[in-house]
């Protein structure tokens, strides 16, 4: 009985993993993936003057 439970849990874990991979690379997620990939480039420039009115050394 224990072997059946181990096999079933392995199959369920594999199906879950492949389902997540399929969801992550599906065509519906392409726009969100592109936006997430460009997030580091949307950060403000660190060498730009502060917009809070303070002075930078």
Tens of pLDDT, residue by residue over 9-56, are: 999 999 999 999 999 999 999 999 999 999 988 888 777 666 565 555
For the chain, give the number of residues. Answer: 57
SS3 7: helix
pLDDT of residue 43: 81
- For residue 30, the model assigns a pLDDT of 92
pLDDT of residue 45: 74
Provide the residue ranges of all domains of the chain, joining segments of one domain with +: 1-25
Q: Count CB neighbours of 29 within 10 A.
A: 13
Token reading at 15: 């199906």
- Among candidate residues 37, 54, 56, 38, the one with its CA nearest the CA of residue 46: 56
């Amino acid at each position: 009985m224990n072997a059946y439970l181990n096999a079933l849990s392995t199959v369920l874990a594999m199906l879950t993993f492949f389902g997540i991979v399929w969801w992550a690379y599906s065509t519906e997620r392409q726009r969100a993936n592109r936006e997430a990939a460009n997030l580091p480039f949307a950060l403000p420039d660190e060498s730009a003057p502060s917009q809070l009115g303070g002075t930078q050394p």
